[in-house]
Amino acid sequence: MERKWIKFVLAGTLLTAAAVVLSVVAFNSPGANLIRFTPDQLLADQDGASAGVQVDGWVAEGTEQYDIDRQELRFQVRDAERTAYIDVVYREGLKPDSFKEGQGVVVSGHYNRASNTIEASKLMTKCPSKYEAADGGYAESEGAADGGYAESEGAAKQVEEPLSSESSP
Amino acid sequence: MNGRPRETKFAFSAAFAFLGVSTLGFLLLSKADEVAVTGFPRAAVYAAAGASAWACLAFAVGLRLRHEGWLRSARRGIVVAWTLMLFTTICLLIALLSDWYHIEYVWRTSTPDQPVHYKLSALWGGMSGSMLFWNAILTSCAALMVWRSRREEDRLTDYALGVMSVVMLFYAALSAGIVPGISNPFQLLNADVLARIEADLAAGASTRGLGMNPLLQTPLMMIHPPNLYGGFVICTAPFAYAVGSMLQGSGSTLWLARSRRWTIAAWLFLTLGNLLGGAWAYNELGWGGYWGWDPVENAALLPWLMITAFLHSVMIQERRNMLKIWNIALISLTFLLVLFGTMLVRCGLLTSVHAFGESSELLAYFGSFLALSTIAVVWLIARRWRQLRSVNRFDSLLSKEAAFLFNNWIFVISAAVVLAGTIFPIISEAYYTYVRGIPDRKIAVSEPYYNAFIVPLGLILLALTGIGPMISWKKATGSNLRRNFLWPTAAGLVAALACVAPFAMIGSSSPDGFPLLKTIYSLLCVFASVFVLGTVALEYWKGVRIRLRRGSPNLFSALFQLTNQNRRRYGGYIVHIGVALFYIGALGSNGFQLSERVKLAPGETYQIAGYQLKYAGEPFQKRGQNVVFHGVPIEVSKNGSGPIAELEPSRGQYDASETATYEASTLRRLSGDLYIALGGINEEGKADMQVYYNPLAWVVLWAVPVVMIIGGAVCLAERIKYRPAKGAEE
């Protein structure tokens, strides 16, 4: 009886070990793990930024340039306080749904510190801002988010299905 | 002598009478004053929460004292809560249809020119409405449990209902708006805001109401959320039976029989919810795929992984009375992961980290319920530990038990990996802050991580899908293995070998070439899928042959009889066919997807996957009910022949929205989808497009859901007979 148990325990241990190894390999596969920054943190960070980064910020107002001839999207991503700005170039895919100025975005790619530019491999928009209406963190986009009726409390933050729409290459 | 059937029938008749009368009254009164009348549904939510609270209390007292009077009252409390939630839901639908913009929720999710069906689906188009909808489903489940246990005394169901009432109270309180972040769906719009809207309208604003997010205004969004919510919520029922069984302490496997239909229903809805969600993303988001390992998607996948593991491991408990604790753990984890996923999504914990402070009350509310539920489950398992220990032991690694155990292991490991990836930003932030002393640093993981892990595991799982049902219990003999697996293995090998040349050709013709690993995985996937289909076909064939010998008139009636006589088993086989099809479709549409960025001026052409695309004519504008589409006409022809279709990729500008959304245009063929998303058109009419060719996409998006519905329905129709398992201490 006891021997049979040992066989199962051994098999389980082996398989779990294999799973752990596999997950470490998966974690280290190219593009799998990215350090996440806000724009101001990325500017302040002195190391590690040449690797893949993910920047969590807002599309700076008045910076969106979509060039159909060159098939590229350029904009700046800014932090909440509007103190740090980083250039973004995105050629890997079309711009994601509900991308617009003042919109929360997550940019993944390689950061070039010399030119302060992120060569984006992936661009995600956060929940469409109408859905985040009236929520302090986002409200500084001057209630434009809410059609101008930003104070109404309560039903704020409707983070339903399209929490983020993606655009992957 | 037993008043239970009559009392239950009376309670339900009263409930329906109340619903009819109150809805009618609501409609009539609304003619007089449509603002004041909303007070009724608003109050009904509070009353429903009260009724749930009463049910909790009465179940606690009634079960403790074994007092039938209290229990009867508690069951009535559940029926009352259900009736009131249903009433409120009907009222909200009426409000949405009647454009009552004095209600904040209606103003947020609807506009007067929104098509009627999207006014209705606005019920789940926003936070508080979808929470109400959630409550309506949850209370319906509980009411159905009351109804199904009406015939005779059913102590287990009473315990389970006690658990249900606690969960009902938790969610009803949310709908009632006691926690900032989710409000009562009938909350009126603030008077100042209302005044400003009126002023804007007078000044010529085009429309009132913010309107539902354009991304949600699509037919799939009318069926995807109800399925997913249904799946999430129905998971509560088997969990309630598991916990109820431990509370009751009888140690029997009755809870498995009682909860089986609930489990299958929850599984089916979750499966459909996930598949339809993928179809929605595919059709609406314009990136040519259906799964992107987004936190929201993961939150929906996690409970599915757990309940699928549970669905399989209960069979071992039924048959051999083993894995009792494991099963309770699996269904509890399913419930807890639903709660956790809801928390992630509703509190904006992940994608919008900045909202942390904003929804901290909601987070605390969910978090404490999650913690309390976990503690309660762990405590109960510890208390019943001796009763739950297995009598039987595993005999051999080559047995059905072992195959199921591996299956469970893979599901649980996959869930752990997906969960770890999903919350990695949170884990790593904690690590950097508290261990390394670096504030504000976190690490996010993305698709490559999940793919690298899930593909090999998924392939093992697929192989087990073929092995598990056929291998014998306890210990498989050589003849059992030969009989069941020889032909399917041969078929799989032949299919895989046949694919070597084509895969190599496609690989060498693709710009970057195929990595060796990908080719191996693809071949293994073909092998395992065909192997699974082969085992199912063989099993059917064996059954049909016997039926035909015993006098079935023809093949179809033999197939029907076979399935009809053992619905659970053959329903399961049908689901397994769906699983194999899913892998084949996913291999095609993920592994062999072509994706090209294309720029065309009017008149220019482009070649992809044997199709010729021609930008034929000028950019166009089309008016929909509440949207304008800006697009380009693309003529598609097969090489050499005339045009076979015209595609119209466009961007939709909704009246109530600032940004345009993708309206991808797809040519669906048996071999695959030609899918075009339009990025933009410049002044000269040049169009920037992303063109995808997704082989076999229809298999994943259409065939698999249909097969799953059929298989799930057959399983649901099972005739459940309860017989205590061997070795049960009864």
3-state secondary structure of B613: strand
Out of B128, B200, B225, name the one closest to residue A155 (CB): B128
* Residue A22 to residue B453, Cβ atoms within 8 A: yes
| Token digits of residue B638 | 């097969």
One-character DSSP codes across B40-75: HHHHHHHHHHHHHHHHHHHHHHHHHHT-HHHHHHHH
Provide the domain count of chain B. 4
Q: Tell whether B576 and B479 lie within a shared domain.
A: yes
Average pLDDT over residues B696-706: 93
pLDDT tens readout for residues B321-341: 888 899 999 999 999 999 998
Average pLDDT over residues A51-78: 90
Chain B residue with minimum CA distance to A104: B352
* Residue A23 to residue B196, Cβ atoms within 8 A: no
* Residue B354 to residue A138, Cβ atoms within 8 A: yes
Among B570, B567, B568, smallest CA distance to B542 is for: B570
Report the pLDDT value the prediction gives residue A41, as an integer from 0 to 100: 85
Q: Tell whether B476 and B409 lie within a shared domain.
A: no
Last residue of a domain, one of B151, B186, B212: B212
Strand partners, B673: B668, B694
Among B108, B134, B453, B163, smallest CA distance to B305 is for: B453
Give how far A169 is from chain B: nearest CA, Å.
8
Q: Are B226 and B319 in contact (CB under 8 A)?
A: no
Give how far A111 is from chain B: nearest CA, Å.
15
Q: Are B94 and B26 in contact (CB under 8 A)?
A: yes
Please state, rounded to an integer, the average pLDDT across all residues of chain B: 88
pLDDT of B722 > 70? The answer is yes
Report the pLDDT value the prediction gives residue B726, as an integer from 0 to 100: 52
3-state secondary structure of B622: strand
Q: Rounded to an integer, what distance in angstroms lies between the CA atom of residue B336 and that of residue B353?
A: 22
Report the pLDDT value the prediction gives residue B135, as an integer from 0 to 100: 96
Q: Residue with structure tokens 């988001």? A: B285
pLDDT tens readout for residues B57-75: 999 999 999 999 999 999 9
Give how far A27 is from chain B: nearest CA, Å.
5
Report the pLDDT value the prediction gives residue B712, as an integer from 0 to 100: 94
Q: Are B673 and B655 in contact (CB under 8 A)?
A: no
Chain A residue with minimum CA distance to B359: A157
Residue A20 forms part of a structural domain: no
Chain A contact probe: residue of B213, B401, B455 with most A CBs at under 10 A: B213
Among A90, A84, A80, A82, smallest CA distance to A118 is for: A90
Q: Are B357 and A136 in contact (CB under 8 A)?
A: yes
pLDDT of B182 > 90? The answer is no
Which of A126-130, B253-257, B451-455 shows the lowest mean pLDDT across its residues? A126-130
The segment with the largest mean pLDDT, out of A119-133, A141-155, B424-438, B578-592, is: B578-592
Q: Tell whether B440 and B469 lie within a shared domain.
A: no
Provide φ and ψ at A100, rounded to 5°. -160, 170
Q: Rounded to an integer, what distance in angstroms lies between the CA atom of residue B503 and that of residue B555?
A: 36
Q: What range defines the domain where residue A81 resides?
A: 35-129+161-167
**A128: chain B residues, CB-CB within 8 Å:** 213, 215, 659
**B174: chain A residues, CB-CB within 8 Å:** none
Chain B residue with minimum CA distance to A71: B688
Q: Rounded to an integer, what distance in angstroms lies between the CA atom of residue B5 and that of residue B433?
A: 60
Chain A contact probe: residue of B446, B447, B464 with most A CBs at under 10 A: B446
Residues in chain A: 169
Residue A67 forms part of a structural domain: yes
Last residue of a domain, one of B159, B178, B212: B212
Confidence class of residue B287 from pLDDT cuts 50, 70 and 90?
A: confident
Provide the domain count of chain A. 1
Residue B70 forms part of a structural domain: yes
pLDDT tens readout for residues B18-50: 999 999 999 999 998 888 899 999 999 999 999
Chain A residue with minimum CA distance to B475: A4
Q: Judging by beta carbons within 10 Å of its beta carbon (0-12, 13-18, 19+), is residue B678 exposed, middle or buried?
A: buried
Q: Quick one: DSSP state of residue B588?
A: I
* Residue B599 to residue A71, Cβ atoms within 8 A: yes
Residue A9 forms part of a structural domain: no
Give how far B258 is from chain A: nearest CA, Å.
31
Give how far A59 is from chain B: nearest CA, Å.
14
pLDDT of B142 > 70? The answer is yes
Q: Are A26 and B448 in contact (CB under 8 A)?
A: yes
**B687: chain A residues, CB-CB within 8 Å:** 68
Q: Are B59 and B145 in contact (CB under 8 A)?
A: no
Among B568, B548, B589, smallest CA distance to B695 is for: B589
Q: Tell whether B182 and B296 lie within a shared domain.
A: no
| Token digits of residue A129 | 């801002």
Q: What range defines the domain where residue B396 resides?
A: 216-445
| Token digits of residue B222 | 């009318």
Report the pLDDT value the prediction gives residue B197, as an integer from 0 to 100: 80
Out of A16, A29, A38, name the one closest to residue B452 (CB): A29
- CATH code of residue A92: 2.40.50.140
Q: Tell whether B29 and B172 lie within a shared domain.
A: yes
* Residue B446 to residue A164, Cβ atoms within 8 A: no
Q: Rounded to an integer, what distance in angstroms lies between the CA atom of residue B87 and that of residue B604?
A: 58
Out of B357, B448, B682, name the one closest to residue A68 (CB): B682
Residue A110 forms part of a structural domain: yes
| Token digits of residue B566 | 């053992």
Question: Could you count the other beta carbons within 10 Å of the beta carbon of residue A153?
Answer: 14
Chain A residue with minimum CA distance to B349: A159
pLDDT of A157 > 50? The answer is no
Give how far A62 is from chain B: nearest CA, Å.
15
Residue type present at position A136: G
Q: Judging by beta carbons within 10 Å of its beta carbon (0-12, 13-18, 19+), is residue B669 exposed, middle or buried?
A: middle
Q: Are B297 and B291 in contact (CB under 8 A)?
A: yes
Residue A47 forms part of a structural domain: yes
pLDDT of B484 > 80? The answer is yes
Question: Could you count the other beta carbons within 10 Å of the beta carbon of residue B59?
Answer: 27
* Residue A154 to residue B187, Cβ atoms within 8 A: yes
Q: Which residue has the higher pLDDT, B133 or A46?
A: B133
Residue B157 forms part of a structural domain: yes
* Residue A135 to residue B358, Cβ atoms within 8 A: yes
pLDDT of A2 > 70? The answer is no
Residue B376 forms part of a structural domain: yes
Which of A111-125, B116-130, B370-384, B386-400 shows the lowest mean pLDDT across its residues? B386-400
Last residue of a domain, one of B425, B445, B465: B445
- In Å, the largest CA–CA distance within chain A is 74
Residue A26 forms part of a structural domain: no
Among B64, B437, B458, B441, smallest CA distance to B248 is for: B64
* Residue B213 to residue A128, Cβ atoms within 8 A: yes
3-state secondary structure of B99: coil
Non-local (6+) Cβ contacts of B680 within 8 A are A66, A68, B651, B687, B688
pLDDT tens readout for residues A10-19: 888 888 898 8
Q: How much is the ipTM here?
A: 0.75
Q: Rounded to an integer, what distance in angstroms lies between the CA atom of residue B135 and that of residue B128?
A: 11
Q: Tell whether B182 and B34 lie within a shared domain.
A: yes
* Residue B425 to residue A36, Cβ atoms within 8 A: yes
Q: Tell whether B302 and B432 lie within a shared domain.
A: yes
Q: Quick one: DSSP state of residue B628?
A: E
Out of B130, B221, B393, name the one closest to residue A4 (CB): B393
Q: Tell whether B226 and B286 lie within a shared domain.
A: yes
Q: Tell whether B376 and B300 lie within a shared domain.
A: yes
Q: Judging by beta carbons within 10 Å of its beta carbon (0-12, 13-18, 19+), is residue B389 exposed, middle or buried?
A: exposed
Question: Could you count the other beta carbons within 10 Å of the beta carbon of residue B628?
Answer: 15
* Residue B444 to residue A33, Cβ atoms within 8 A: yes
Q: Rounded to an integer, what distance in angstroms lies between the CA atom of residue B288 and that of residue B700?
A: 13
Q: Tell whether B352 and B422 lie within a shared domain.
A: yes
Report the pLDDT value the prediction gives residue B357, as an integer from 0 to 100: 38
**A156: chain B residues, CB-CB within 8 Å:** 127, 181, 358
Q: Are B488 and B534 in contact (CB under 8 A)?
A: yes
Residue B724 forms part of a structural domain: no
Strand partners, B598: B689
Report the pLDDT value the prediction gives residue A97, as an integer from 0 to 100: 77
Chain B residue with minimum CA distance to A22: B453
Q: Tell whether B470 and B423 lie within a shared domain.
A: no
pLDDT tens readout for residues B524-546: 999 999 999 999 999 999 889 88
Residue B728 forms part of a structural domain: no
Out of A34, A36, A147, name the one closest to residue B210 (CB): A147
Q: Tell whether B247 and B395 lie within a shared domain.
A: yes
* Residue A71 to residue B183, Cβ atoms within 8 A: no
Chain A residue with minimum CA distance to B445: A33
Report the pLDDT value the prediction gives residue B513, as an integer from 0 to 100: 66
Q: Which residue has the higher pLDDT, B469 or A139?
A: B469
Write down the pTM of the prediction. Answer: 0.89
Residue A81 forms part of a structural domain: yes
**A5: chain B residues, CB-CB within 8 Å:** 393-394
pLDDT tens readout for residues A121-154: 888 877 543 333 333 222 222 233 333 333 333 3
Residue B35 forms part of a structural domain: yes
Residue type present at position B275: L
Q: Rounded to an integer, what distance in angstroms lies between the CA atom of residue B499 and that of residue B522?
A: 9
Report the pLDDT value the prediction gives residue B629, as an integer from 0 to 100: 92
Alpha-carbon Rg of chain A, whole angstroms?
Answer: 21
Residue A140 forms part of a structural domain: no
Angle at B214 between CA B344 and CA A135, to 5 degrees: 45
* Residue A126 to residue B659, Cβ atoms within 8 A: no
3-state secondary structure B418-483: HHHHHCHHHHHHHHHHHHHCCCCCEEEECHHHHHHHHHHHHHHHHHHHHHHHHCCCCCCCHHHHHH
